[in-house]
Every structure is written in structure tokens, then in C-alpha cells.
Structure 1
Amino acid sequence: MKNTVNYGLLLPIFLMLLLSIWLQYWVATYEDVSAINQGIKQIIFVVIGVGCMVAIKFIDKKLIWKLVPWIYVFSLLLMLSLYFFYDANMYNITGTKRWLDIAGVKFQPSELAKIAYILFISKELIKYDMTNKEKDFHTDLKLLGQLILYSVPLFALMFMQKDFGTSLVFVCVLGALLIAVGLDWRILATIFGILMILGIVLILLVFTEFGNDILASLHFKQYQLNRIKSWRNPYEYSDTIAYQQVQGLVSMGSGGVFGKGSSGIEVYVPVRESDMIFTFIGEAYGFVGASLVIILYFYLFFQIFYAGLKSNSKFNIYICVGIVFMLVFQTFENIGASIGLLPLTGIPLPFLSQGGTSLVATLIALGLIFEMKVYD
């Protein structure tokens, strides 16, 4: 047994953190903010996140196992507290209560809830494996019912916060873990079919006045519906609701093969420091630079999977699957939106987008991977 530093995992994390500081500094030079201050701010988030990651490495997994239900309940209470301690400034800007403001410290509880949810579902799957040596359609159906029941409070809170994008992350994580546990293919096919139908119906409702009324009654905001419309035909709305998408596409295309360099940015893209950070990479470093960043993400995902497999623990494997698909979905959605493949959802690009909570939460999740003992 080995419990040394996982250098294979440390390398992509180190490179991503350096890149995040570099990008946030250079993006700020094109905005009405101090580039030096933004760079220092990002360094502070990196230091806090790395400190949390290192601290978690030294927490015994047996203790984490015992605390999992309490961690999940605590994450739900944090999200519930948004109705009492939300950030008023962000509420005035976005119309949503997603940011906690406690004594001047602001963060998004949903980012921490992702980790709590992965740990909780992973433990439930282990308990299912231990109590059901012989699995069949009925035991799998019972498991699905239990997981849905446990997930209802979380999704109810997400619905009340009008955070559709982050809700999709939880759905992706749950789906990946159900596949990992080997849920009966008939159940998986039914779930996939239902989600496909719901997705198609949702898209169709967006493009009819009657459908818009239905979605409004379900608390969908107009800006959310506009994201679907602008994704379908961005150039039709290039001066209005699709301005951000069109500018992003122009920025990506203008970078060419090798890009213009960090100091050669010419295309203005709204919210470039967060939702559209990949467009800066595409314009500054071109197709080659953007491809290298994607390859670095894939290398990180591989190292997380590999760490779980080498740990020889099902609990660890489930945690790794949950974390990987959490990061994969966020990466795929953010980059997909930047290049016009997917509609915008406001999901940050892991490591690189502006946002301290997202970065720290990602490093906390990776701290769980570093904690895993490796067996030869």
C-alpha cells in the first residue's frame, strides 16, 4: 500500500491553477478593473482552495464515511439559509438568491452541495451493494426510488433558486452513478427516454407563446427562454439576446490557428471573465491553445478515474465517477456554449472561470481524490 503524493494528478491541477491566475489577470486588462487586483484575488482563492485540498488529504476516509449524512444535511441547510442571508447586490442584478452573504463573506452553497451530494449518493450505493448480493429489476427499482426521495429536497431548493444550469449538474452526477452501480438497463433506458422527451418538449415550448406562458407559470425566467432562442439562431438576434453568443463565436474564429497573443485581443465578449472565458483562450491562443486546454482537462479526468481504480475501493470509485462527471458536464457545457454547440446556462468552466466558490469547491473535491490510498 502507498500513501504518497499522487504526482500524476497534481500535475494537471498545478497547470490549471497557474492558467487560471494567468487568464484572470489578462482578461481583467480588457475590463474596467485592476488587472493586478484581479490576479491577487485569484491567487488568494487558489491558496484557500489548495489549503482545503491539503487538509482533506489528511482526513481519514472512515471519518468522512461516518459524517456523510450530516454533510449532506448541512449542505441542504446552507442552501435553505439563502432565504435569510442572501447577497442583496447579486439578487438585484440577477433576481435570484444563489449567493450567501455572511459577515461580508460571499459564496454559493450549491457548489459545496455538489460534493455533499456525490458523497451521499456514493455511500447509499455502497450500502445497496452490501445488502443486495443478488440484484434484480425490483431491487434496482427500489434503489432508484430511495435515491429520488433523498434527492427531492435538493432539487426542490434548486428549483426555488431558479438555478436550472446547476440542477443539470446534479442530474448528470446521479445518472453517472446509477450507470456505475450497474442499474438494470430497462430502468436506465426508461429514464433516458423520459429525459429526452422532457428536453424536446421544453425546447418546443420555448418557441410558442402558449408554451412561454406554461414555462412562466413554472417560474422559468425570460432570460432563460432567450438563451434557447439565441442558441437556435444566434445571428438572427445578434444585436439583442444573442449578442454575447455571437461575439463569442467571432472571438473564437478570429483567433485562427495560433491566436493573437494575450495582448492582442480585439473582440469584446460580455462576461468574458466567467461564462465565456474559453473565448479568450480561443482568441488569444488559437485552435492550438484551445485544444491543449481541452487535452489538459481530459488528462485530469483520466487521473481522477485512475486514482479511484488504483485505490481498490468501491466507495472511492463511486466518488471518482461523481467528481469526474461533475467536472465533465461543467466543462462540456461551458465550452459547448462558447463555440455555439449548446445554449448558455451560466455554468462556470472548472478552474478557469472567475468565481472563488467554484474554484475552492473543485479543489475540495480533488482533496478527496488525494486522500485515497493507492494499492499496487
Structure 2
Amino acid sequence: MNNEKYPQRIDYGVILSVMLLAIISILSLYSTTVLIQDGSIGMTVRQIAWYGIGTIAVLVIMQFDSEQLWKMTTYLYIAGLIILLLTLVFYDREIAAKTGGNRWVTLGPIGTVQPSEFVKIPYILMLAKTITKHNSVYRVREYQTDFLLIGKLAVIGLVPVVIVFMQRDLGTALVYLAMLIGVVLLSGIKWQILLPVFLLVSTVGITLILLVVYNREFLLNTGLFRPYQFARIDTWLNPHQGASDTSYQIVQTFKAIGSGGVFGKGFGVSEVYVPVRESDMIFATIGENFGFAGGALLIFIYFILVYHMIRVVYDTKNEFYAYIATGVIMMIVFHVLENIGMNIGLLPMTGIPLPFVSQGGSSLLGNMMGIGLIMSMRFHHKSYFFSGEGEEFHPGS
């Protein structure tokens, strides 16, 4: 049998990478909550439970081939929008009062969940379906058709971004934008169109930066921004000069990571207190316990994971899958870059967790669902193409 024509249905590189990240997550949480903070093992046990639930999600999702995913996508996307809108109404008031964000919902014995983490999956599917269907209808690329595609993606892609932003969750909104940008760049839209769009977005971004520096009152009066967001920028630019809790947290994170040296102080050893170390600042535990070597190993594992996800796309040769994988890859890569970047001071704090490692069931389950989509691509490795007529779906040779 030709192994190139019939690739393995299970990608063990993806599985091994996620397993290693799971081990790092469990050990880091145990080190943080039990050995360093002298707390209970409950958080570690819950993380293991969420990994169990996530594994079940992977096994279920990978059973769906691209034809089945294609047919479900629109319904899942609409359901996702409804869930995001309902979150604006039924968010947990107590958590919102503490954090300033209304993105959490309490579901009885399950506890608090963040719906926007789960909705990333139907969001990715809908972007992929929109581009694939458009390209199958307009096989000859023209400026008019490319502008039409941009319009479709703007409507489908920006509506969830706006809703998530209304939940006062800038970090997750940026993740959605990163996924949108990733699939747009891969969609085949002419660079003559993308370049002006990029310049327009850059101009808006530079204008916002100038307003943050010179006229914050204007931005506050729009009602779209909150003082704590500006405080995070100030902390990022001058972490040692601030007196806020955010400044203290980031300075302590710097100290913890820096004190780890090359090989760290050892498992469970900490001499620096870092607030909320178990979630967004879990990299501080890794850096302090295992040093530069431990942090580098973690980044290498992420690299291997992304590499294998890209390999899956090349092996399946399926356009719909390619856009799905791009969205999943952008989701994970943006999380990694932003989280580690804010831990070492390269980027401002946004409250984005470290994928597969930080404490938190919503984020972990959302990432595992993304892995399920990747595993589905390998498990159903046939190549498909679309007729462009309605929802009809044709298997290729």
C-alpha cells in the first residue's frame, strides 16, 4: 500500500504534543496550587476532569467528516451567535463586578463557563465554509468577486467580534480577529485588495494608539473602552512605575521568570509570589520551576503541534479542511504568542490563557474541540470538492 496515497488515519504527532502539554499543565497546576500556595488539590483534579471531557469531545468530533461538518456549519454558527447574545443578558453579575467583564455564565453544578471559547469552533467552520463555497462558485478570480468575498467575511466574521467586545473581553475579540485574518490571507484574495485594507486597518490602529496616548477622554466617552484597559497599557509600558494590582502582578511575574535562570529552581520551588499564577500567569511557574530550558521546551512542543497540524492539511488536500485548520492554528498560535508575550513583557496584558496549560475548563475544552477538527481531517482523509450549487457536496477521487 502506498503510504503517501493512504496516510495514517491517526496523527500521533498531534496526540503526543497535546499529551505533553497536558502533563505540563497538570504538573504546573499541582506545583502552583499545592506546593507553592499550600492549597488543595481540587484545581488540579478539575483540570484532569476537563481533559477527560475534552478527550471525549475530540473522539466525538473526529467522527464527523467534512461533508457532515459542512451541513452542520450554518446551524452551529447561528446557535453560537444566539449563545453569545444570551451571555450579554445572563452573565454572572458577581464575577462581572470583580473582573469588569460580562463574559462568564454560571451553570449550576458545572460552575462558570465562558461561551465565547466554545463559539470559536462554529466561527471557524463558518469562515471556512463561506470561503470554500465562494471559491467554488467564482472559480475565476476578479476584483468584483474578491470584494464580494471580503463583504461576506466582514459580515460573518465581525458580528461575533463585536458581540464578544460588548462582553468587555478585548483579548478574546482579538483572538477572533486573528482567526479571521488568517483565513482571509489564505483565501486567495488579490494582494492589490488586501494591501489597502491592511493600510486602512493600520491607520485605524495607529489612530487608536495616538488617542490612547493623547486623548483618552474621547475614547472613554464613546463607551467602547474602560479605564482598566488603559491601565493595562500603562502597566505594559511602565510596569515598575504603576501602583495598581496589574502592575504588581506583572512585575512579580518578571521576577519569578527571571529568578528561574537557565534550569529553574526545581519542581514546586518558588520564592516569588505571583497573583493568579494558576491561570494567565502559569508561564511564571514554568519559568521559575524549570527555567529558560523549561520555557523553551514548552514553546518547542507548541511548534511541533502546529507543524503536525499543517502537515495534516497538506495530506488531506481538502480546501474546506485547509481553512478550518488555518483558523484552529491561528487560534492556538495567537494564544501562545499573546500569553507568553505578556508574561515576559513584550505585549500588554489581555487575560488570554496559555492553550492546554492554563487552568480553565472553557478554554481547554474549546482548544480540544479544535484538536478534534484537526483529527477529523486525518481520520477522513478523502479529498472533496464542492459544486457551488446550494449545499450539495461531492466526494472527489
Normalising by structure 2, report the TM-score: 0.90
Taking the aligned partners of 2:190 and 2:335, their CA distance within structure 1 comes to 27
Q: What are the ranges of 5 or more consecutive residues in structure 1 without an aligned counterpart? A: none
| Cross-structure match for 1:180 | 186
**Partner SS state of residue 271, structure 1:** coil
Q: What are the ranges of 5 or more consecutive residues in structure 2 without an aligned counterpart? A: 1-5, 384-397
User: Contact 1:2–1:375 (CA<8 Å) still a contact in 2?
Assistant: no
| Cross-structure match for 2:172 | 166
The offset of 1:216, in angstroms, is 4.4
The offset of 1:99, in angstroms, is 1.2
Residue deviations 1:310-365 (CA, integer Å, cap 9, x gap)? 01111111111110011101110000000000000001110111110100110111
| Cross-structure match for 1:110 | 116
**For residue 123 of structure 2, what is the amino acid of its counterpart?**
Y
- The residue correspondences of 1:245-284 to structure 2 (distance < 5 A) are 245-284=250-289
Taking the aligned partners of 1:152 and 1:14, their CA distance within structure 2 comes to 34
The list of structure 1 runs, each at least 4 consecutive aligned residues, that deviate by more than 4 angstroms after superposition, is 238-241
User: Contact 2:257–2:284 (CA<8 Å) still a contact in 1?
Assistant: yes
Taking the aligned partners of 2:142 and 2:91, their CA distance within structure 1 comes to 45
| Cross-structure match for 1:220 | 225
Taking the aligned partners of 2:381 and 2:72, their CA distance within structure 1 comes to 22
Residue number among 304, 308, 311 corresponding to 2:313 in the alignment: 308
Q: Percent identity?
A: 39
Matched, 1:191 2:197: yes
Matched, 1:70 2:44: no
Normalising by structure 1, report the TM-score: 0.95
| Cross-structure match for 1:31 | 37
**Partner SS state of residue 97, structure 1:** coil
User: Contact 1:172–1:326 (CA<8 Å) still a contact in 2?
Assistant: yes
Taking the aligned partners of 2:347 and 2:13, their CA distance within structure 1 comes to 31
- The residue correspondences of 1:143-158 to structure 2 (distance < 5 A) are 143-158=149-164
The offset of 1:84, in angstroms, is 3.4
Taking the aligned partners of 2:246 and 2:104, their CA distance within structure 1 comes to 25
| Cross-structure match for 1:298 | 303
Q: 1:240 to 1:357 in 2, by over 3 A?
A: closer
The offset of 1:2, in angstroms, is 4.7
User: Contact 1:238–1:246 (CA<8 Å) still a contact in 2?
Assistant: no
**Partner SS state of residue 106, structure 2:** strand
User: Contact 1:207–1:229 (CA<8 Å) still a contact in 2?
Assistant: no
Matched, 1:204 2:182: no
Residue number among 336, 349, 366 corresponding to 1:331 in the alignment: 336
Q: 1:255 to 1:275 in 2, by over 3 A?
A: same
- The residue correspondences of 1:38-57 to structure 2 (distance < 5 A) are 38-57=43-62
Q: 1:155 to 1:270 in 2, by over 3 A?
A: same
**Partner SS state of residue 242, structure 1:** helix
Taking the aligned partners of 2:270 and 2:210, their CA distance within structure 1 comes to 38
The offset of 1:159, in angstroms, is 2.4
- The residue correspondences of 1:123-134 to structure 2 (distance < 5 A) are 123-134=129-140
User: Contact 1:205–1:215 (CA<8 Å) still a contact in 2?
Assistant: no
User: Contact 1:45–1:360 (CA<8 Å) still a contact in 2?
Assistant: yes
Taking the aligned partners of 1:83 and 1:133, their CA distance within structure 2 comes to 40
**Partner SS state of residue 129, structure 1:** helix
Matched, 1:119 2:125: yes
Residue number among 372, 381, 384 corresponding to 1:374 in the alignment: 381
| Cross-structure match for 1:99 | 104
Taking the aligned partners of 1:367 and 1:327, their CA distance within structure 2 comes to 13
**For residue 179 of structure 1, what is the amino acid of its counterpart?**
L
Residue number among 328, 343, 364 corresponding to 2:348 in the alignment: 343
Q: Which moved more, 1:335-344 or 1:55-64?
A: 55-64
Residue deviations 1:206-263 (CA, integer Å, cap 9, x gap)? 233x323423423311111111111112122266541111111111111110000122
User: Contact 2:178–2:330 (CA<8 Å) still a contact in 1?
Assistant: yes
Count of residue pairs the alignment pairs up: 374
Taking the aligned partners of 2:244 and 2:137, their CA distance within structure 1 comes to 59
The offset of 1:147, in angstroms, is 1.2
Q: 1:191 to 1:345 in 2, by over 3 A?
A: same
**For residue 108 of structure 1, what is the amino acid of its counterpart?**
Q
Taking the aligned partners of 1:45 and 1:241, their CA distance within structure 2 comes to 28
Matched, 1:234 2:239: yes
User: Contact 1:85–1:102 (CA<8 Å) still a contact in 2?
Assistant: no
Taking the aligned partners of 1:20 and 1:48, their CA distance within structure 2 comes to 15
Taking the aligned partners of 1:191 and 1:169, their CA distance within structure 2 comes to 19
Taking the aligned partners of 2:245 and 2:67, their CA distance within structure 1 comes to 54
Matched, 1:139 2:145: yes
Taking the aligned partners of 1:86 and 1:169, their CA distance within structure 2 comes to 21
**For residue 217 of structure 2, what is the amino acid of its counterpart?**
N
Taking the aligned partners of 1:317 and 1:251, their CA distance within structure 2 comes to 40
Taking the aligned partners of 2:8 and 2:93, their CA distance within structure 1 comes to 45
The offset of 1:187, in angstroms, is 2.1
